[in-house]
Structure formats: C-alpha cells, structure tokens
C-alpha cells in the first residue's frame, strides 16, 4: 500500500505542474516589480520621475507585464537591481551533458556564429 500512496502523491504533484508561458513570466516579473516598489514606499509617479520612464509605461508594465527592455533596465536600476539585470544571461545553462561539453569548448570563443556562417554568405 505505501507504494500506492507515493504514486498518488507524485501524480497529484504532476497534475499541478504547468509549463510557464512568456505571458506568465511577464506577469510574474511585473508583480515582483510592483511588490518591491511598494515595499520601498515608492509611488508610480515617483519611480517614473527617478527612472525617466513615463508613468503610463510603469502602469502598463504593472498591469499587463508589457515593457520595452530599456525601460525595464531603467526601472531595475532605480530599485537597485542593476547587477540582477546585468547578469540575466551571465551563467551558462545546459540541459544535457552534450550542451555542457559544447559550452565548455566554446567558453573562450568570441564569435557568435560558427565558421560555416561565412560560407553561407557566399
């Protein structure tokens, strides 16, 4: 019987698991931003003035998660999240050992494209 209980628990966890969509992530980032702004007792008007981002952009971001990357950077910097935004893609990520090996081999490569890219243009 204990096996059935464990199986049921695992299945219950899997049923609640969903993949994030880009919209889910946008809304979560916007909600996190709003929480941090409110925690610091900063109004939308105040953060707009400090960051140089229009208040309408701040409102649209908090409500819908929509924002230009440059505006997001300005808001992040205003709240003191410069290093977090700067390091967004700072750590290599891999899903397989093959990807890890490729990352290690390419770690000192300055080019974004492989050698065959030049051949494609001819």
Nearest to 46, CA basis, from 71, 70, 79, 72: 79
- For the question of whether the overall pTM of this predicted structure is more than 0.85, the answer is no
- Per-residue DSSP letter, 20: P
What is the per-residue pLDDT for 99?
82
Which DSSP string corresponds to 41-107? T--HHHHHHHHT--HHHHHHHHHH----HHHHHHHHHHTT-HHHHHTTT-S---SSHHHHHHHHHHT
Domain boundaries, the chain: 2-86
Q: Is the domain covering 2-86 a CATH 1.10.260.40 domain?
A: yes
Tens-binned pLDDT, residue by residue, of the chain (122 aa): 454 556 666 666 666 666 789 999 999 999 999 999 999 999 999 999 999 999 999 999 999 999 999 999 999 999 999 999 999 988 877 788 888 888 788 777 766 655 554 444 54
């Amino acid at each position: 019987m204990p096996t059935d209980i464990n199986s049921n628990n695992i299945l219950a966890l899997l049923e609640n698991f969903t993949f994030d969509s880009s919209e889910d992530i946008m809304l979560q980032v916007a909600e996190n931003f709003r929480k941090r702004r409110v925690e610091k007792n900063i109004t939308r008007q105040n953060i707009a003035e400090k960051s140089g981002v229009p208040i309408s952009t701040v409102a649209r971001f908090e409500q819908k998660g929509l924002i230009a990357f440059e505006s997001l950077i300005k808001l992040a910097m205003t709240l003191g999240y410069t290093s977090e935004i700067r390091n967004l893609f700072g750590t290599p990520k891999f899903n397989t050992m093959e990807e890890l090996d490729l990352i290690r081999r390419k770690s000192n490569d300055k080019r974004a494209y492989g050698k065959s890219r030049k051949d494609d243009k001819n």
